[in-house]
């Protein structure tokens, strides 16, 4: 049984309550506790400790406590008997929420928040957390109740896919779902088909050959994971199209989209255009999994 918690950030918005529902179900699937956090969005230079009932800071903390109360109620409705705790944090919302994921099984956030000084700017906070947290971050949006029994994982380079594939296979196994491994290439072949690129040497590229080579590379990359998870049905698909558009399309008929996040030379996150676009246009939950997780 997992002991690391599933952490979910709330601000009182309906989006964040949808995130609570998703996180509660995920915690139940993993046999994990659920931790609910909220952070008052204090205006710049406002003293966090000046929290008397008649101060702005005090009122904003009151909003966070109310948001936590609503979230606790929603979590207990969705997951009766689930071990749940909650905390109102201090500090800059983006940093505090991101840090709350340290040591967690995953951090769950809503795609958009209530906005304004009355609540955490969850839209910007969720984006920051997705690209800086040390654990996988799941961004929840729109309706989370439909069950499709499919988890899709976007694969760019078979040499660097352990983190997202491991997370995706584990999710598929716990959900009794099919794992859909998706590779898409757009205009120029990606790393999966780099060995047969002839355009740079003056020869026209054979698009059918590019797709076939990508499919072979994908098959090889999946072998070890099929062996680790023999009970998980696997389907692999190579698609010609912009990766972000392809994955956003898959999100309309899968339970979860999983994509990786790579670190730069200094160890910090590389904020990729594809990840940004998927988060902007996805119809359902998206998991961003850091390299090395």
pLDDT in tens, 149-159: 999 999 887 66
DSSP conformational letter for 66: H
Query: Domain end: 118, 140, 162, which one?
Result: 140
Distance CA 22, CA 108 (A): 8
Domain co-membership, 70 together with 107: yes
Pairing of strands 234-240, 178-185: parallel
Task: Give the pLDDT of residue 200.
Answer: 46
What is the distance in angstroms between the CA of the first residue and the CA of the last residue of the chain? 19
Q: Which parts of 144-232 are beta strand (E)? A: 150-154, 178-185
**65 found inside a domain:** yes
Domain co-membership, 18 together with 62: yes
Distance CA 76, CA 53 (A): 29
Domain co-membership, 49 together with 104: yes
Task: Give the pLDDT of residue 95.
Answer: 94
Domain co-membership, 25 together with 112: yes
CATH number, domain of 278, equals: 3.40.50.620
pLDDT at 220 over 80: yes
Full residue range of the structural domain in which residue 88 is found:
6-140
Domain co-membership, 244 together with 214: yes
Q: pTM for the full model?
A: 0.84
Lowest mean pLDDT among 23-27, 42-46, 149-153, 246-250: 42-46
Domain co-membership, 40 together with 159: no
Task: Give the pLDDT of residue 68.
Answer: 93
Beta bridge mates, 257: 152, 286
User: CB within 8 A of 179, min separation 6: which ones?
Assistant: 150, 151, 153, 168, 169, 172, 229, 232, 233, 234, 235
Query: How many helices (DSSP H) and strands (DSSP E) are in the chain?
Result: 8, 10
Lowest mean pLDDT among 28-42, 46-60, 199-213: 46-60
Percent of the chain with pLDDT strictly greater than 70: 77
- Mean pLDDT over 248-260 rounds to 93
Domain co-membership, 88 together with 178: no
Domain co-membership, 158 together with 264: yes
Per the model's pLDDT, the better-predicted residue between 222 and 206 turns out to be 222
Q: How far is CA 59 from CA 8, 52, 119, in A?
A: 22, 8, 11
Domain co-membership, 185 together with 91: no
- Mean pLDDT over 196-203 rounds to 48
- Mean pLDDT over 239-249 rounds to 89
Six token digits for residue 109: 């956030």
Task: Give the pLDDT of residue 44.
Answer: 54
Distance CA 42, CA 117 (A): 7
**1 found inside a domain:** no
**209 found inside a domain:** yes
User: What's the structural domain count of the chain?
Assistant: 2
Output the DSSP codes for 123-168: HHHHHHHHHH-SS-EEEE-S------SEEEEE-S-GGG-HHHHHHH
b/e 117-136 (16+ beta carbons within 10 angstroms → b): eebbbbbebbbbbbbbbebb
Domain co-membership, 176 together with 129: no
Query: Domain end: 83, 107, 140, which one?
Result: 140
Burial class (CB in 10 A: 0-12, 13-18, 19+), 226: middle
Binned at pLDDT 50, 70 and 90, residue 212 comes out as: confident
pLDDT at 265 over 80: no
pLDDT at 24 over 80: yes
**110 found inside a domain:** yes
Query: Domain end: 86, 112, 140, which one?
Result: 140
Domain co-membership, 212 together with 112: no
Q: Which residue has the tokens 């850091």?
A: 290
Binned at pLDDT 50, 70 and 90, residue 270 comes out as: very low
pLDDT at 274 over 90: no
pLDDT at 223 over 70: yes
Lowest mean pLDDT among 31-40, 177-186, 200-209, 258-267: 200-209
Binned at pLDDT 50, 70 and 90, residue 121 comes out as: very low
pLDDT at 264 over 80: no
**145 found inside a domain:** no
Whole-number average pLDDT of the chain? 82
Domain co-membership, 27 together with 61: yes
CB atoms within 10 A of CB 41: 24
Angle, vertex CA 167, rays to CA 164 and CA 251, nearest 5: 75
pLDDT at 142 over 80: no
């Amino acid at each position: 049984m997992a002991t690391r918690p599933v952490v979910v950030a709330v601000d009182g918005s309906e989006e964040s309550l949808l995130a609570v529902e998703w996180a509660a179900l995920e915690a139940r699937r993993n046999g994990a506790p659920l931790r609910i956090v909220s952070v008052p969005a204090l205006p710049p230079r406002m003293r966090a400790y000046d929290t008397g009932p008649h101060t702005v800071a005090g009122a904003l903390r009151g909003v966070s406590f109310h948001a936590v109360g609503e979230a606790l109620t929603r979590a207990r409705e969705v997951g009766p008997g689930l071990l749940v705790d909650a905390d109102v944090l201090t500090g800059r919302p983006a940093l505090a929420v991101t840090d709350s994921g340290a040591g967690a099984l995953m951090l769950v956030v809503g795609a958009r928040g209530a906005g304004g000084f009355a609540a955490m700017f969850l839209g910007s906070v969720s984006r920051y957390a997705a690209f800086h947290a040390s654990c996988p971050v799941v961004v929840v949006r729109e309706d989370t109740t439909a069950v499709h029994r499919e988890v899709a994982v976007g694969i760019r380079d078979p040499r660097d896919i352990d983190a997202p594939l491991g997370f995706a296979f584990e999710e598929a196994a716990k959900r009794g779902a099919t794992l859909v491994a998706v590779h898409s290439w757009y205009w120029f072949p990606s790393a999966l088909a780099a060995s047969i690129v002839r355009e740079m040497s003056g020869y026209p590229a054979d698009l059918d050959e590019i797709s076939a080579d990508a499919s072979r590379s994908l098959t090889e990359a999946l072998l070890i994971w099929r062996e680790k998870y023999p009970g998980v049905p696997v389907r692999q698909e190579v698609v010609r199209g912009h990766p972000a558009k392809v994955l956003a399309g898959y999100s309309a008929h899968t339970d979860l989209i999983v994509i990786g996040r790579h670190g730069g030379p200094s160890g910090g996150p590389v904020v990729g255009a594809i990840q940004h676009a998927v988060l902007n246009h996805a119809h359902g939950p998206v998991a961003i999994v850091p390299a090395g997780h």
